[in-house]
Amino acid sequence: MARTTRKSTTRAHTTRTSTTLLTTIAVASLLLSGCAAASGEPAQSPEAPAHTMPDGTVMDGAEHGESGGDAAQESDGAAPETDGAAHETEMTDAQGASEAARMICDGQVVTSAAQIFDLEPSAVPSSSWDSPMFTCTYDVDGAPVVLTVHDVTDAAAGQEHFDALQQQLGAEDIEGMLGLGLPSFSTGDGVVAFLRDGKTLTVDATALPDGFGNGTSTQDEAAYQMASAVLTCWVEHN
């Protein structure tokens, strides 16, 4: 009976936490709070740059995109990019982890981690890249909180990894997240994972001591909070 009660309590807590996460991501998708600026990368201007024609006429970005851009492609014989996923894969192989993966160890996510775990502003997480896995580790008073991204763009390969990981951990689906296009699971004791655009984000907070922070926080709550920080940035950039 005690075991059944414990499982029911864990499931109820997971549902409440996932509801909070749902709300956070929904608000983020509307507000777009600025992860690019926080990460030190310049945000792109919403307005296309103006273009000066040979006769001195200045065309705004919209006009140039409709006419001048097409003419330029025709003149230099360059074919338009038709496979964004393939292009990103090539860039990832050549330059390391994708921008989305690197967000787990940069900018607003680092700021969120400092707030969640009461870290010093100067604290810097460690990271590693072993294709296709990007790993970021936050040191919380000697206890590692580990974020990983299985960094692929092929949906089938991403789904296969996600399913295998869930089966390996014996984790349960998180209710409500599939409706946002975010397949996800939780072990209930500090490991959560989310699948977006072929990339699996996993947060492992199991090394944290019981009742860390203010004495009442759980490993599961910490994992959800860190995942929420990352997903907020991912929603903004997609």
Span 153-197, pLDDT tens digits:
999 999 999 999 999 999 999 988 877 778 999 999 999 999 999
> What tokens does 98 get?
């994708």
Low-confidence stretches of the chain (pLDDT < 50) are 1-14, 24, 26-34, 36-54, 57-82, 84-94
The candidate with the shortest Cα–Cα distance to 231, out of 48, 19, 24, is 24
Task: Please indicate, yes or no, if residue 218 is contained in any of the structural domains.
Answer: yes
Task: Please indicate, yes or no, if residue 44 is contained in any of the structural domains.
Answer: no
Task: Please indicate, yes or no, if residue 164 is contained in any of the structural domains.
Answer: yes
* The pTM of the whole model exceeds 0.75: no
Task: Please indicate, yes or no, if residue 112 is contained in any of the structural domains.
Answer: yes
The candidate with the shortest Cα–Cα distance to 171, out of 198, 196, 193, 149, is 193
The answer to whether 18 touches 194, Cβ cutoff 8 Å, is no
In whole angstroms, what is the distance from residue 58 CA to residue 49 CA? 10
Domains of the chain: total: 1
Task: Please indicate, yes or no, if residue 71 is contained in any of the structural domains.
Answer: no
Task: Please indicate, yes or no, if residue 149 is contained in any of the structural domains.
Answer: yes
In whole angstroms, what is the distance from residue 49 CA to residue 61 CA? 5
Amino acid found at 104: I
Task: Please indicate, yes or no, if residue 194 is contained in any of the structural domains.
Answer: yes
- Supply the range of the domain harboring residue 191: 2-33+98-236
Amino acid found at 233: C
Whole-number pLDDT of residue 237: 74
Strand ranges (E), the chain:
51-52, 58-59, 126-130, 133-140, 143-150, 172-173, 184-186, 191-196, 199-204
8 half-sphere exposure, CB direction, 13 A CA radius = 5
Whole-number pLDDT of residue 37: 42
Query: At 57, phi and psi to the nearest 5?
Result: -70, 135
Task: Please indicate, yes or no, if residue 220 is contained in any of the structural domains.
Answer: yes
The answer to whether 152 touches 132, Cβ cutoff 8 Å, is yes
